[in-house]
Structure 1
Amino acid sequence: MKFIQMTHWLHQGNIHNQCSLVALPNLIDLITTCIDHPAAANQTFLVSDGEDLSTTELLQRLSRALGKPARLLPIPQSWLETALTLVSKRAIAQRLCGNLQVDISKTRDLLDWTPPVSVDEALRQTAQAYLQNLSKPKLDKSHKQ
């Protein structure tokens, strides 16, 4: 979010990966469901918000949640990966461009669970909290009382 706030143009405008996210309210809701649901005993469940996003889609939606225009340059993903690899940042390229998805179909089916908070609502809440935190005065730790 800080990057979106400070930067005029982002170069991640053409990344077609897929990543699963989980909002804290959805995680809490699933944990609560598992505590109460008899079918949850001795099971392992994966959790996400139920909608996978590419890095480009995430930046677009996060920009919208922050009330900022999404100024994304459509640099081909292969160029970005190559450039980051050339400067010894291969791990960053993998995080930005790689897939990281989980399948929550077992969680949905066995527990009859649906994430209560949508991706867009979670991003809106996160952006709102971030913006409120920016407006709070910072404590000056250099002055001890």
Structure 2
Amino acid sequence: MMSLTIGKLAAAADVKVPTIRFYEQIGLLPEPVRTVSDRRAYDPAAVRRLAFIKHARQLGFPIEAIRTLLDLADHPERSCEDANSLAQEQLTTVETKIAQLEALRSELRRMVAAGCQGIAGDCRVIETLADHGLCGRDHSVPGRLSS
């Protein structure tokens, strides 16, 4: 069976070596076998698993959701209801973020359009940032500090 070093695994999956070590540390990737010289040796399944994790991260899935999805992938006879539910949760999260970003874009466009050419004391951008009440609509992001 073909065996890969950690560097070759990283290259094959287009991730960094510390990322592989991190995924091993948190249990998303199993600990690899070790050679007699104590080097990690990975099989082709590690490339597929790492690609799965990378793709899930690109889609924004949190680590715990990925853990559940990997468990489902490891047990193909189980129902995919949990996978559907996790995907729906992630879609809802993404749609919420998009709505927040659209609100931010709208407010920034409004601020830029109202900008001035004079001195900073008369700057509409600075004035709006100093007084949230001057904003056109609420654009705060839940979970972030707001005053």
TM over 0.5: no
Q: TM-score band, normalised by the shorter chain?
A: under 0.3
Tell me which protein shows more helix as a share of its residues.
2
| TM-score after normalising by structure 1 | 0.25
Larger Cα-atom Rg? 2
| TM-score after normalising by structure 2 | 0.24
Q: Which has the higher contact order (CA 8 A, sep 6+)?
A: 1
